[in-house]
Structure 1
Amino acid sequence: MSQPINTVEEYMAQLPGDRKEDLARLRELIHQVAPNAKEIIKYKMPYYEQNGPLCAFASQKNYISLYILNTPVLQKNADLLGKLNIGKGCIRFKSIDRLPLDAIKKILKESVDANLAHYNDHC
């Protein structure tokens, strides 16, 4: 039985090389857009919060999943993602090189802004 993963560093360390590189780049992008986001392990994957849930990512068997936790923001910007495999709150891709990074940054930034607006309205 494997040990539970408690930190993002532990999560990243157990990944195969190509996935580790892709997810390190994705993690860096998240930190660029949301430098104040809290980074934790939740639901057995790296998870980010800033004035509410922001995003998460996971290495799946056949692809990488990027979960945009403000689903209306993802749906509003889905056309920017081209022919990527998109669910209600999830973007699935095989390599970060296939991601339109400017679109991902825009979606993450809008999620940060939406969380802040919601936080300010309710606090």
Structure 2
Amino acid sequence: MNKPASIDAYIAGFPAETQELLQQIRESVQKAAPDAEETISYNMPTFRLNGYLIHFAAHKNHIGMYPAPKGNDAFQEAIAPYKGSKSTVQFAYNKPLPLALITDLIQFRIAETGGKLLQNP
């Protein structure tokens, strides 16, 4: 895959169903972290706020988010139904996106990187 010039270009490179899911994740990040900067890093949509905040990417069978606090006790139960590794979580295409969980993950990352949490995202 050639490096996309923007998150819009990245999303446009996928089928309509995948585009919709990617856009939902993007909007969740934008809402939870309105001051975050959008960019492409490692050929993935990336948000930066006080440094690197989060990447997400479409794959053959899932959308991955990086990093995810897999080892964090507060998220262990919430993330358990999803595949992933220590610092990633995978959302299968055949299940609805857990947008509230995604927002919680973003808020956790904001706090982790020294940003300000929104009181009512």
TM-score, normalization by structure 2: 0.82
Cα deviation for residue 61 of structure 1 reads: 1.4
More displaced stretch, 80-89 vs 95-104: 95-104
Higher radius of gyration, 1 or 2: 1
Please say if residues 25 and 102 of structure 2, whose CA atoms lie closer than 8 Å, have aligned partners that are also in contact: no
Match of 1:81 in 2: 79
SS at match of 1:6: coil
1:61-76 alignment runs, 5 A limit: 61-68=60-67, 73-76=69-72
Match of 2:3 in 1: 4
- Equivalenced residues, count: 113
Distance 1:95 1:62, change over 3 A: closer
The CA distance in 1 between the partners of 2:57 and 2:91, in whole Å, is: 11
Tell me the percent identity: 27
Match of 1:33 in 2: 32
The CA distance in 1 between the partners of 2:89 and 2:2, in whole Å, is: 28
Structure 2: gaps (5+ residues): 116-121
Segments ≥4 residues shifted beyond 6 Å: none
The CA distance in 2 between the partners of 1:101 and 1:8, in whole Å, is: 19
Cα deviation for residue 99 of structure 1 reads: 3.5
RMSD over aligned Cα atoms: 2.0
Please say if residues 81 and 100 of structure 1, whose CA atoms lie closer than 8 Å, have aligned partners that are also in contact: no
Distance 1:89 1:37, change over 3 A: same
Q: Deviations over 1:38-69 (max 9, x none)?
A: 1100100101110021111111112111112x
Cα deviation for residue 98 of structure 1 reads: 3.3
Cα deviation for residue 3 of structure 1 reads: 4.9
Cα deviation for residue 74 of structure 1 reads: 4.0
Cα deviation for residue 101 of structure 1 reads: 2.4
TM-score, normalization by structure 1: 0.81
